[in-house]
């Protein structure tokens, strides 16, 4: 079916929107960052593409589009977009899961190596012109625990396995016995995450933010970590209780933290994380490769072709679970 009307929630000046020219000629497109931009097209719209719109805008536009049959979000995280009307509707929601996972897996590996080889000390000595030999850690044989073993978690597991590391994971549902994941030595249920965390040298949080995962790594989890453990967050900031993490970092209860996501973004000026020597801080850009936006747009275009042909969509979200 070629006669589709698409509503794109975005700044019309975003350069990646030029790629929408690859859509079939009969596709009607309305682009804007206010409800007024969609007043004429919304009543007949069949799909909504939230490229960079707010949750409030998506909610308002969704209410304006009674014929919509598909909603796609550029981002993988959906914690701010799942308003009740969308969750309760039969309209499928898809997201950008998998588009950015490889780069996030690389960041996790980089953070592991950063602490194992003490790159901060190397750089500090280099800048001071100081020749000072010191011992470093070999990561081969060490254990990585992944909290939230989805697409990002698998990207992490693939990379650390190649370095000779052991992988444990927390996942709501483990694989059936006939389909055990070869990347993971053992999968734990969320209720047994403290047991897993106590065994790990590195704990990577890659879970989506849902009511179940908010604060999933808190005081009890940090108390269970080895003093030499490093916490790494590449999922959503609030999955880790930042107050509990800050106490663990400043009190020397854990070795360090590699963080790409935070409870409040941008991280407020003067936040202790900026000053801590045992924190590697990335301003939520670990997946910002030179072409990350083009990749996100290409994924949408591929999914739109499936939608147009009536084929199964990729990355259909369980709206009740939030991922």
Q: Is the pLDDT of residue 173 over 90?
A: no
Task: Calculate the average pLDDT of the chain.
Answer: 95
Q: Render pLDDT for 201-245 as a digit per residue (tens, 0 to 9).
A: 999 999 999 999 999 999 999 999 999 999 999 999 999 999 999
Contacts (Cβ under 8 Å, ≥6 apart) of 40: 30
Q: Is residue 221 among the annotated active site residues?
A: no
Q: Are strands 93-94 and 28-32 parallel, antiparallel or unpaired?
A: unpaired
pLDDT of residue 171: 93
Residue 194 has pLDDT above 60, yes or no: yes
Residue 179 has pLDDT above 60, yes or no: no
132 annotated active-site: no
Which pairs with CB-CB distance under 8 Å and at least 24 residues apart come from 241-248? 241/215, 241/217, 244/217, 244/218, 244/219, 245/217, 246/272, 246/273, 247/219, 247/222, 248/222
pLDDT, greater one: 77 or 69:
69
- Asked if 45 and 68 count as a contact pair (C-beta separation under 8 A), the reply is yes
Q: Which of 78, 94, 151 is nearest to 301 (CA)?
A: 94
Q: How many CB atoms lie within 10 A of CB 77?
A: 17
What percent of the chain lies above the pLDDT cut of 90? 93
Instruction: List CB contacts of 295: < 8 A, sequence separation 6 or more.
Output: 99, 100, 289
Question: Residue 105's pLDDT band (boundaries 50, 70, 90)?
Answer: very high
Residue 158 CA to residue 98 CA, distance in Å, equals 14
pLDDT tens-place string over residues 256-300 = 999 999 999 999 999 999 999 999 999 999 999 999 999 999 999
Q: Tell which phi-psi region holds residue 188, choosing left (phi > 0), alpha (psi between -120 and 50) or beta.
A: beta
What is the per-residue pLDDT for 2? 63
pLDDT band at 178 (very low <50, low <70, confident <90, very high): low
Q: Output the pTM of the full model.
A: 0.91
Which of 85, 138, 212, 265 is labelled catalytic?
Answer: 265
Choose the weakest-confidence range: 130-139, 168-177, 189-198, 292-301: 168-177
The 8-class DSSP code of residue 210 comes to -
Q: Which domains does the chain have, with CATH numbers?
A: 5-99+290-309 (3.40.50.720), 101-281 (3.40.50.720)
Query: Cα(178)–Cα(158) distance, rounded to whole angstroms?
Result: 20
Q: How many CA atoms lie within 13 A of 157 on its CB side?
A: 22
Find where tokens 């800048």 sit.
Answer: 127
Q: Read off the DSSP letter of residue 238.
A: G
Q: Is 265 in the active site? A: yes
Catalytically annotated residue among 284, 298, 306, 314: 284
Element (H, E) at 166: strand 166-170
In Å, what is the CA distance from 85 to each residue of 52, 63, 81?
20, 8, 11
Residue 101 pLDDT? 95
**CA gap 226, 165 in Å, rounded:** 17
């Amino acid at each position: 079916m070629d006669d589709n009307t698409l509503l794109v929630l975005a700044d019309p000046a975003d350069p990646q929107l030029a790629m929408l020219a690859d859509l079939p000629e009969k596709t009607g497109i309305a682009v804007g960052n206010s409800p007024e931009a969609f007043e004429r097209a919304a009543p007949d719209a069949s799909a909504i593409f939230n490229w960079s719109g707010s949750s409030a805008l998506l909610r308002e536009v969704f209410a304006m589009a009674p014929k919509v049959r598909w909603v796609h979000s550029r981002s993988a995280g959906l914690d701010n977009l799942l308003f009740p009307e969308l969750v309760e509707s039969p309209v499928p929601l898809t997201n950008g899961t998998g588009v950015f996972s490889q780069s996030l897996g690389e960041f996790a590996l980089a953070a592991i190596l950063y602490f194992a080889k003490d790159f901060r000390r190397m750089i500090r000595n280099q800048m001071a012109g100081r020749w000072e030999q010191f011992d470093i850690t070999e990561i081969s044989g060490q254990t990585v625990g992944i909290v939230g073993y989805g697409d990002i978690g698998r990207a992490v597991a693939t990379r650390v396995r190649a370095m000779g590391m052991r992988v444990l994971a927390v996942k709501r549902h483990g694989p059936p016995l006939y389909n055990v994941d070869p990347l993971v030595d053992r999968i734990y249920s969320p209720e047994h995450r403290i047991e897993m965390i106590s065994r790990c040298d590195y704990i990577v949080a890659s879970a989506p933010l849902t009511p179940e995962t908010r604060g999933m790594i808190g005081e009890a989890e940090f108390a269970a970590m080895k003093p030499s453990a490093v916490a790494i967050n590449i999922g959503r900031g609030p999955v880790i209780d930042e107050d509990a993490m800050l106490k663990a970092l400043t009190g020397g209860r854990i070795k360090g933290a590699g963080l790409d996501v935070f409870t409040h973004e941008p991280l407020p000026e003067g936040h202790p994380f900026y000053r801590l020597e045992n924190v590697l801080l990335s301003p939520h850009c670990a997946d910002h490769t030179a072409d990350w936006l083009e990749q996100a747009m290409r994924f949408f275009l591929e999914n739109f072709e499936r939608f147009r042909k009536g084929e199964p969509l990729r990355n259909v979200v369980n709206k009740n679970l939030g991922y």
